[in-house]
Structure 1
Amino acid sequence: MYQFNFEPVFGAFDTLLLGAWFTIQMSCMAMLLGLAVSVAGAIGKTSGIRLLNLVVDIYVEIIRNTPFLVQIYFIFFGLPALGIRMSPNQAALLALTVNFGAYGTEIIRAGINSINRGQIEAAQAIGLSWLQVLRYVVIKPALRAVYPALTSQFIFLMLGSSVVSAISATDLTAASNDLNSLTFASFEVYLVTTAIYLVMSIAFSIAFSLIGRSWFAYPVNR
């Protein structure tokens, strides 16, 4: 009979917490940078400029149709051939940002296309510039429409970040692997790791739900 022994795991629980904290930091930073890429890509796809549209399409199709692990390997092991060298953590952040940006581009583009064309034409008719139309007429309604998809993509990004341990980035999975190699308590280590990922996912889901209700609530007529 297998004898469960969680003592070595909880004895080094601070190591797992540090890995979890790094995972959260890296995921949040990748989301913020990825959102900037997504907005730029979505504007490019809806700008009507054929060349810009083509460039964004190529970027999105390459990222969405290649494995994330291969993208990480390309950035960390391939780019040094061109003289671009990064630490494992920097390469992980860049890979997550590029990956999120491609998926986010399509999500935000769908949100922009969901805006009633009549609203945009009305805003242009009263003299608003294209940037003003984006700011006052398009962005918030578009974000309201795609907010659930973006938050789900963030959760997926955070969970998928476990792959960056393959290049020795110091995330939660890497910390778990190190702890497992020291204790050989594989079941206990990865059970606790699974629980930590689950807690983080649920916590962010609740936080995003509360933020969405606050930011995107429709005004109440009195």
Structure 2
Amino acid sequence: MEPGQPSRSGATTIHIHVLDANNNILVFEQSVYTVSAQENSAQGIVFIKLNAIVLESGIYEDDVSYSFIHVPDKTRGLVRIDLVTGEVRLMGVLDYEEAVSHELDVQAKDCGGQSSRCKLIIHVKDENDNAPVIVIKSNSASEPEETSPGTMVALLHVYDLDAGTSGRVTCYVSDDVPFKLVSQVKNYFMLVTDRDLDREKCYHYNITISAVDAD
């Protein structure tokens, strides 16, 4: 037998733990979310619940935190996003006349540092919450009785801050006066004589002008 025969061997065990890498891609289901809300909606309502998912598995992440990246000055203090649930709530008063829409950049981030972004657009629906306004631009305090019909005695600017049909204004005067309204330019009305004036029959008129919007 040759020296060193038979051969002998030794062994040991090395334990190696493979650490999980956060290589799952976190994404929002949409890049842009669009919602609509009526102006003067009740505070506390939820516009939308945003969700970020793991792209490979298609499941929602449990450790994701949600936040706004940038809030415009007109939207500051108006909405809030829940850090855990992703619910976006109304915290102020929506006013169509101040802003017809609000755009917000949202970020979702998990504990491993993966993040995703999306845009949330809130469209504000107009509500008929403004009364028509009548502004007297010029008027005559007196008219001679020989004034011919069609003579302008006052110029009125009439407008409504509401949009659409809610902002369409109709003006009228009572039927018992010799005057009528004529409009040749949008939002402007002329009060003109409708027939001959007779001082012996009536020497003074109190004219009430009414403005009514479409809704």
Which band: TM-score by shorter chain?
A: under 0.3
Structure with more helix by fraction = 1
TM-score normalized with structure 2 length? 0.21
- Tell me the TM-score normalised to structure 1 length: 0.21
User: Hey, which of these two has a bigger chunk of strand by percent?
Assistant: 2
Task: Decide which structure has the larger Cα Rg and report it.
Answer: 2
